[in-house]
Amino acid sequence: MSRKSKQSKHNRKFTANSTQVDKYLDLIGHQIFQGNYAEAVATCERLLNFLPRHALRRVDVLDQLGTAQAMLQNFPQSYAAYTEALSLDPNNAELWFNRGMASRFTSRFGRSLRDYERAKELTIRPELAKKLEEELKFAHEVARKTLKLRGPDFTLDQLIEQEDLFQNGLQLMEAGEWEEAEQAFQASITMNDCLPQPWGNLGISLMMQERYDEAETALKRALVMDPRYTLAKNNLAALPKIRRTGLPPIVDIRDPFKTSKLKQSITFIEE
């Protein structure tokens, strides 16, 4: 008898929480519709703090958070939101589609293709099928060109791993973990040395460890690969002064998509 009473009390509590979650989700949807993306992010984060870590209701919140972050061009945060949502709901085609978009805008071109392919394997709403086919075609072409740059034996799995290493390096730089960032960029370069960006960011990571000779070598290597690479050019020019006066208080880590005019071209699926 007492067990039944306790169970009923638990159910009433769950229902009340569900109602509260629905109200928050309605508010978030309204904020996104109105273009108040920063407010939507803040509301999502408050709600996520309230929900248990493995609650399925988190999926809806994370989906909205991913969209709001993307519209603010905070693509790494958007990618992280969709990745967590997929860990809770791995058979959701719309989530795979949305992470495919976030993957592209974090330069994860291999994973973007895989995400769209997974979305196609699952049941997706008919009205979205055409959009998915368009994105798949584009992702195939980008992945093909990216793989061609790395040589005939470089696989899609290797591309995904290498792109993840580079993005992990950027996140470690953001956190000021310079030695760990250095290791991530070195690992990316070891897999295939074909792009200047890992060398440029490796140079910064070494510079922040006051390993100036190694930093200079890395930055020069980046400029051999791309003489117009502004980030490496500016840091190399600043290096003599940094050697004399010490490190700058702030390091500019540039997101190539952050300042571009992409917002109008992004299509995220919403319920």
Please report the pLDDT score of residue 4 as a whole number.
Answer: 40
Structural domains of the chain, ranges and CATH numbers in brackets: 1-78 (1.25.40), 91-150 (no CATH), 156-245 (1.25.40.10)
Please report the pLDDT score of residue 252 as a whole number.
Answer: 52
Q: Are 166 and 107 in contact (CB under 8 A)?
A: yes
Ramachandran assignment for 89, one of left (phi > 0), alpha (psi -120 to 50 degrees), beta (any other) = beta
Q: Are 120 and 94 in contact (CB under 8 A)?
A: no
Please report the pLDDT score of residue 253 as a whole number.
Answer: 55
Q: How many of the other CB atoms lie within 10 Å of CB of 232?
A: 26
In the numeric block, the tokens 């502004």 are attached to 230
Please report the pLDDT score of residue 249 as a whole number.
Answer: 57
CA atoms within 13 A on the CB side of 155: 3
Closest by CA position to 66, among listed 52, 47, 49, 79: 79
pLDDT tens series, the chain, 271 aa = 333 433 333 333 433 378 889 999 999 999 999 999 999 999 999 999 999 999 999 999 999 999 999 999 999 999 999 999 999 999 999 999 999 999 999 999 999 999 999 999 997 788 888 899 999 999 999 999 999 999 999 999 999 999 999 999 999 999 999 999 999 999 999 999 999 999 999 999 999 999 999 999 999 999 999 999 999 999 999 999 999 988 765 555 554 444 434 333 344 454 4
Distances (CA, A) of 165 to 75, 158, 183: 16, 11, 9
CA distance 251 to 268: 32
CA distance 113 to 167: 17
